[in-house]
Amino acid sequence: MKVLVSVKRVVDYNVRIQVKPDGSGVVTDGVKFSMNPFDEIAMEEAVRLKEKGKVTEIIAVTIGGAKCEETLRTALAFGADRAVHVKEESEVQPLSAARALAAVFKKEGAQLFVLGKQAIDDDANQTAQLVAGLLDLPQATFASKVELEGGKATVTREIDAGLETLEVDLPAIISADLRLNEPRYLKLPDIMKAKKKPIETVSFADLGIAAGAALKTVKTVAPPKRSKGVVVKTVDELISALKGKGLV
């Protein structure tokens, strides 16, 4: 069984995001980038499924510029067998990404597509659902547990009311939630081996996908700073303060 895992290069989650003075986006020069944390979880789950004998080959895929190869090397160090780099230097929005990923999925003839539920740069939480729609395949999002058996995937997913268990036929799309697993620490020998694993480079044109962003970001602004708190000594003072802000 082939499993496709998408990995995205994003600003590292430890970095404090700064908005550019002109509001055209966030500062990325000199900033550390790494693999999207939810995609790390997706990759770890694929590797665990392979270790259990449920998966025979793991293919990592990313979309972006030349620097995204670093992210693919990280995925190969995790345990992916090979990688596909959809090279695109311009901005890639969820729908364009979904179309490219769906094309790679069909090209590879994979039976399972695992990806993070969202990327921490835009928090769109759209790509998995869009890929499932484009391929007309069953989906199980926000997975906290995945089991494969007999051509089916049993997925426990997190919902507002608690946990829900779904059984979907393969091929299928699964998006990983935070509690699905804890990614392993990469060992130096695995990092060195990853340098020799193959990476195939393709373009949007090779996949029959039209590049270009359908949505335009007009302006980026930082969240407003919180106002200073007010200390109240009595309930009456609290009610008065809330009334003054129009909250009651």
How far is 35 from 41, CA to CA, in rounded Å? 10
| Lowest mean pLDDT segment, chosen from 25-29, 179-183, 230-234 | 25-29
Q: Round the average pLDDT of the chain to a whole number and report it.
A: 90
Partners of 63 in the beta sheet? 86
96 CB-near residues (< 8 Å, 6+ apart):
204, 209, 210, 211, 212, 213, 214
Looking up tokens 């590292």 gives 12
**What pairing do the DSSP bridges indicate for beta strands 162-169 and 112-116?**
unpaired
Q: In the chain, where are the structural domains located?
A: 2-244
DSSP 117: S
Average pLDDT over residues 125-152: 93
CATH architecture of structural domain 2-244: 3-Layer(aba) Sandwich (3.40)
pLDDT value, residue 160? 87
How far is 96 from 217, CA to CA, in rounded Å? 16
Q: What is the pLDDT of residues 41-60, one digit of tens each?
A: 999 999 999 999 999 999 99
pLDDT value, residue 81? 93
Q: Are 26 and 17 in contact (CB under 8 A)?
A: yes
Q: How many residues does the chain have?
A: 248
How far is 197 from 188, CA to CA, in rounded Å? 15
Partners of 115 in the beta sheet? 175
Whether residue 213 has pLDDT greater than 80: no
pTM recorded for the entire structure: 0.84
